[in-house]
Amino acid sequence: MTDPHDERREVDPTLVRNQGSLTTSEGTVWLAAASVAAVLVGGMMLALWWRLGAPLGLVGALVTVALLLAMIVVRYAVASRRGRLITLAALFWLMVVADLAIVLIVAAG
pLDDT tens digits for range 33-79 = 999 999 999 999 999 999 988 899 999 999 999 999 999 999 999 98
Domain ranges of the chain: 23-108
Q: For residue 84, give the amino acid letter.
A: R
Q: What is the pTM assigned to this prediction?
A: 0.77
Provide the pLDDT confidence category of residue 8 given band limits of 50, 70 and 90: low
What pLDDT, on the 0 to 100 scale, is given for residue 17? 66
Give the C-alpha separation, 90 to 87, whole Å: 5
CB atoms within 10 A of CB 28: 10
The pLDDT score that the predictor gives to residue 91 is 96
pLDDT at 19 over 80: no
What pLDDT was estimated at residue 57?
92
Q: What mean pLDDT, rounded, does the chain reach?
A: 86
* Collapsed DSSP state (helix, strand, coil) of residue 5: coil
Residue from 69, 39, 60, 64 nearest 107 by CA: 60
For the ranges 9-13, 23-27, 74-78, the lowest mean pLDDT is seen at 9-13
Residue 12: what pLDDT? 73
